[in-house]
A and B are shown apart, each in its own frame.
Chain A
């Protein structure tokens, strides 16, 4: 029973990181209608930027997190400006292959710069805390709180600001939003910057939680991200948090009772089940909406 509760605790912290990554992925999908396979690279870039920055800022966790988010935002802007907007109007598969190419390029450039060997942050994980039935380190608690904070901020941004209204309009119909006077290009740029920042931050907390990381950090997390996004319903930012919770708990529980090496296998099984029975997310009845493909 104790093992199970500890597992749930770890699952919650995994879900927190996953929700950050997945909400960024779904925001990208919502405004540009593409599945960004270079999304994992935003995480990797964030993680490595924080790694480069930690020496300058003397092991300050907050500064490292800000650097990670800034680097992710820059990567998001660059990808949207350099690739996604240039490929607008092409088929989804074309853009998909282009982003896959970017992912491979970024991964290899990072290998050139930092080497293929894993690197480690010098941050302490903090003491163990018993919170209710769960057992968390200080950094686990920080991760969960920051994920909740980001969720709250994104909610406020999307629901209570002009920017959020514009994003929602564009996600429904870009052309219609544009003729209504919304500067679609600028709003999409800003959304990619926001998504990149969230993903960069997610990359930093992911790397910090795992302990060591290499250039493949983000890409190996991509499948989990996509599974969480599909579980929530692709393009639906709020439901994504629920999807991340489900995926985080399922893989952690399944991984604990078999082997953590097979986590992604369970993620794939979950993805297949979702694709077959709930392609629009677990929070929508299967008959309610048709698949957007």
Chain B
């Protein structure tokens, strides 16, 4: 039981690491606002699924949407936030300037959420997030029978858009573009990818289920593979 929670957490961190690897490892920009995206994603999923707030507690929206739809909407919103921060920070800022700007962005976001209570109830925070696996997929701590219903997610970052991102980094480091032209692992092309580049970096419904359903340790290893796809060459 305890180890299940540890592995679950490890899976979540693995997803986060995958996302950071896209920004930092491939594109070469250290985005400190990254954990802000995580925060906004979970807050939005919460307010989209949990329903209306009861008076002392206050937060925006308060819808009763299906969990999967809520996660999808939260992802869209977070992609929007990342795009705004990126549009500012990536204009002509690299290295330290980029890191400082993203740190500033996430600090501002943090303060806004903390102090502006109508948004997400400020300091008090919100709780009672629905566990989607519990009901919809009959996923409990006692068993991982769910595994057989899910196909492992094979299409991971590193197989198409990733090379372009690595190319961006290499060009900006003026280190030559040799990484950027590495061939596709598994012989898979870019076509037919189920999601967009940015969406893949974030905990989506598919990735989330896969991590919950997979055997322990699997997410981490996959994360490494994603990175090594180009590093090995």
Contacts and interface: CB of A to CB of B under 8 A. Distances in A.
A223 B106 CA distance: 11
B99 A275 contact: no
Contacts of B105: 268, 272
Interface string A88-107: 00011100110000000000
Classify chain A's interface size.
Answer: 20 to 34
Given A93-B30, A272-B88, A291 B97 contact: yes
B1 interface: no
Interface string A221-262: 001001100100000000000000000000000000001011
A268 B95 contact: no
A276 to B, nearest CB: 6
Interface stretch (B9-17, B74-82, B107-115, B189-197): B107-115
Interface in B99-154: 99-101, 103-105, 107-108, 111-112, 114-115
Interface of A: 34-35, 91-93, 96-97, 223, 226-227, 230, 259, 261-262, 264-265, 267-269, 271-272, 275-276, 279, 291, 293
Interface of B: 30, 88-89, 91-97, 99-101, 103-105, 107-108, 111-112, 114-115
14 contacts: A92-B96, A226-B100, A226-B104, A261-B114, A264-B111, A265-B108, A268-B108, A269-B108, A275-B88, A275-B89, A275-B101, A276-B88, A293-B93, A293-B96
Given A226-B100, A275-B93, A291-B94, 20 more contacts: A93-B96, A223-B104, A223-B107, A226-B104, A227-B104, A230-B100, A261-B111, A262-B111, A264-B108, A265-B112, A269-B108, A271-B104, A272-B101, A275-B97, A275-B100, A275-B101, A291-B92, A291-B93, A293-B96, A293-B97
